[in-house]
Amino acid sequence: MKKNILCAIVSLLVIGGIISFYFAMKDRNEKRIYQEEQEEIQRKNEALLQNDYFTQRRNKLEEAKKLDLEAEELSKQDHDDPYQKYFYSDKKEILPIENISSEDDFLEVLKANMLMFFNYFNVDLTKEELNDYIKIIELSEKDGKLFGPSPYDGCIALDGKVIGCIKPYIENVMNKILKEKDTSEYERIMDGRDNGSGQNLNYSILDIPVIIIVGKAYQEPTGNYEWYSDDETEKYALPKNMHSVFLIGYDKENFYINDPLKENTTSVSRKTLETSYDLYGRQKILLYRGRDGLFP
């Protein structure tokens, strides 16, 4: 009798061990499968983002910084370099452009900068007219994901608030305005020297004002807004806390800007503004003059 009981206990222990081992292996396999699925999702997301405008600019930034350093070293050499004075000049240059204030909203700030830009070049434009040119695209949510078209198609909004616009779309809007206003004196709004990663701000201040994208209060992005095309074949991204300012001057230590969130022109250290400009993809909007030619 005792022998039978002992055998039964041993059998139960063996069965219990087998069952425990089975569930432990099942849990391990489930975790491994889940991890592999998440890694595959991440790989697909990264692959989808490779075609995203902002992601491409950030990926090329390190290469661009190396080119900037080479250009700066060349500008120190004793030869006729038209950009040398913008690296090392002690002279203070500020364009006489009055700041236009706005409410704390990305689109309203951008429109204020655009109005200052057009006013400087004597393009007659009202805020109401400007509204008619700008398309706002609202992202939609489904199953925990955001969906919407490319940021090339318009300014992106989430929950009724615009979260950002990319340089190519802003340029398209401003070029359309110039064309319809028949400003034949000017060629176009576009950075013809932009190789996909932009140039540092030393090359931007050539006696004309420039709209640049930075972080609000020059802070780093706290992440990205990311969304998919409706068929999920494309993925797009915009950095959070996007802001824009109107760059109107410089001296050896500082840049001078009109920030619509401020009342007057303010100074920002070169390092602070350049760093924020880098983090947000080196996006700037400037105007090329026509036949006289602003650049060589």
Strand ranges for the chain from DSSP E: 93-94, 136-138, 140-142, 145-147, 155-158, 161-164, 186-189, 210-215, 224-228, 235-239, 242-250, 254-258, 266-269, 284-285, 287-289
Least confident of 102-106, 255-259, 287-291: 287-291
Query: Do residues 236 and 150 touch, judged by C-beta distance below 8 A?
Result: yes
Query: Do residues 280 and 215 touch, judged by C-beta distance below 8 A?
Result: yes
How confident is the model at residue 87, as a pLDDT? 47
Q: What is the pLDDT of residues 237-246, one digit of tens each?
A: 999 999 999 9
Q: What is the pLDDT of residues 82-91, one digit of tens each?
A: 444 444 456 7
Instruction: Please give the average per-residue pLDDT across 107-121, as a whole number.
Output: 93
Residue 185 DSSP label: T
Q: Is the pLDDT at 48 greater than 90, yes or no?
A: no
The amino acid that residue 241 corresponds to is: N
Least confident of 35-39, 49-53, 163-167, 276-280: 35-39
Instruction: Please give the average per-residue pLDDT across 223-235, as a whole number.
Output: 91
How confident is the model at residue 282, as a pLDDT? 87
Fold of 52-133+164-289: Cathepsin B; Chain A (3.90.70)
User: How many Cα neighbours within 13 Å face the side chain of 216?
Assistant: 15
Instruction: Please give the average per-residue pLDDT across 145-173, as a whole number.
Output: 94
Under the banding of pLDDT at 50, 70 and 90, the label for residue 167 is: very high
Is pLDDT larger for residue 101 or for residue 290?
Answer: 101
Instruction: Please give the average per-residue pLDDT across 208-223, as a whole number.
Output: 90
Under the banding of pLDDT at 50, 70 and 90, the label for residue 8 is: low
The whole-angstrom separation of Cα 258 and Cα 211 is 10
Ordered strands of the 161-164 beta sheet: 136-138, 155-158, 161-164
227-242: b or e for each residue (b if 16 or more CB lie within 10 Å)? bbeeeeeebbbbbebb
Could you give the angle at the alpha carbon of 157 between the alpha carbons of 258 and 198, nearest 5°?
Answer: 50
- pTM to 2 decimals? 0.73
Beta bridge partner(s), residue 73: none
Helices then strands, counting H and E runs in the chain, come out as: 7, 15
The whole-angstrom separation of Cα 156 and Cα 137 is 5
